[in-house]
């Protein structure tokens, strides 16, 4: 092999290594994939029912990526789900809508029941740390919650859910947290599917988390003043 050929070959190998490393870092198309949680003027009531006005305005994120086989998941009677998120006063609020043809909630072992898996990484390390993992059985409420999760409430026979996370000053305009939500569908006593809000090609082997970004169409401070002014006016 002459010197020129060797240089070309080395360059190709280097480029391959670099693009592999980059691809690995960004996961399955994560760079253009994020959820924008919008600041709202009135927080939703975390009671499990999605009749709060903020949920009508929030954009839904669909659970349409099958994490076990990496394929897109079409809407189907087997499972259809979506979520939305908004923030206010240091809290992140999440609403979830689920439809599952065989809801399994009466097993003694959690993994034999339908359940949600959420990751909220407040420090935005981008990785799926066990510390930030939440396993939430469908239709059940418990008072023992791992911070920053402060509340879980179910409504409509396990078809709707509201969650709140206390993030304090991390919930501010322009900040991001790592986030993913998946539904582990147990039908007929067996875990059949893991369906997530995630980019195309993403699987459970992917370590990086998508971003949830705190957005605000108006300045949080201006909004605060408007609310206060509204309160003052309502006193008269």
Question: Residues in the site for Ca ion, rule: CB under 5 A?
Answer: 44-45, 47, 49, 52, 78-79, 100-102, 114, 185-187
The answer to whether residues 121 and 132 touch, using CB atoms and an 8 Å cutoff, is: yes
| Angle in degrees, CA 205, 23, 33, rounded to 5 | 75
Rounded distance between C-alpha atoms, residue 210 and residue 208, angstroms:
7
Helix (H, G, I), strand (E, B) or coil at 156: helix
Of 21 and 45, CB closest to Ca ion:
45
* Cβ atoms within 10 Å, residue 43: 15
Residue 93 CB, nearest approach to Ca ion (Å):
9
Closest CA to 121 of 53, 167, 155: 167
Residue 36 CB, nearest approach to Ca ion (Å):
21
Residue 114 CB, nearest approach to Ca ion (Å):
4
Q: How many Å is the maximal CA-CA distance in the chain?
A: 89
Of 136 and 208, CB closest to Ca ion:
136
Of 93 and 132, CB closest to Ca ion:
93
Of 7 and 42, CB closest to Ca ion:
42
Residue 192 CB, nearest approach to Ca ion (Å):
6
Residue 49 CB, nearest approach to Ca ion (Å):
5
Residue 186 CB, nearest approach to Ca ion (Å):
5
Of 30 and 85, CB closest to Ca ion:
85
Rounded distance between C-alpha atoms, residue 220 and residue 44, angstroms:
17
Helix (H, G, I), strand (E, B) or coil at 105: coil
The answer to whether residues 65 and 196 touch, using CB atoms and an 8 Å cutoff, is: yes
Of 115 and 128, CB closest to Ca ion:
115
Residue 54 CB, nearest approach to Ca ion (Å):
9
Residue 236: is it exposed, middle or buried by C-beta count within 10 angstroms (0-12/13-18/19+)? Answer: exposed
Which are the contacts of 116, defined by CB distance < 8 A and separation ≥ 6?
96, 134, 135, 136, 137, 138, 161, 181, 182, 183, 184
**DSSP H helix total and E strand total for the chain:** 3, 12
Of 106 and 231, CB closest to Ca ion:
106
Which two structure tokens, joined as six digits, stand for 157?
A: 């026979």
């Amino acid at each position: 092999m002459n010197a020129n050929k060797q240089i070309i070959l080395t360059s190709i190998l280097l480029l391959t290594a670099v693009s592999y490393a980059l691809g690995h870092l960004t996961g399955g198309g994560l760079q253009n994939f994020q959820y924008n949680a919008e600041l709202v003027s009135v927080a939703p009531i975390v009671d499990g029912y999605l009749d709060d006005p903020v949920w009508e305005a929030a954009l839904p994120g669909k659970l349409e990526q099958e994490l076990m086989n990496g394929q897109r998941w079409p809407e189907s009677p087997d499972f259809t789900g979506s979520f939305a998120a908004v923030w206010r006063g240091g809290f992140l609020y999440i609403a979830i809508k689920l439809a599952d043809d065989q809801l399994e909630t009466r097993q003694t072992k959690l993994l034999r029941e339908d359940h949600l898996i959420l990751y909220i990484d407040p420090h935005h390390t981008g990785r799926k740390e066990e510390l930030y993992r939440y396993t939430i059985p469908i239709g059940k409420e418990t008072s023992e919650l791992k911070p920053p999760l402060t509340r879980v409430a179910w409504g409509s026979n396990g078809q709707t859910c509201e969650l709140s996370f206390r993030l304090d000053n991390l919930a501010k305009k322009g900040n991001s947290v790592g986030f993913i939500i998946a539904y582990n569908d147990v039908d007929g006593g067996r875990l059949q599917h893991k369906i997530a809000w995630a980019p195309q090609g993403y699987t459970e082997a992917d370590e990086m988390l998508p971003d949830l970004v705190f957005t605000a169409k108006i300045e949080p401070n201006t909004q605060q003043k408007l609310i206060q002014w509204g309160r003052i006016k309502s006193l008269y």
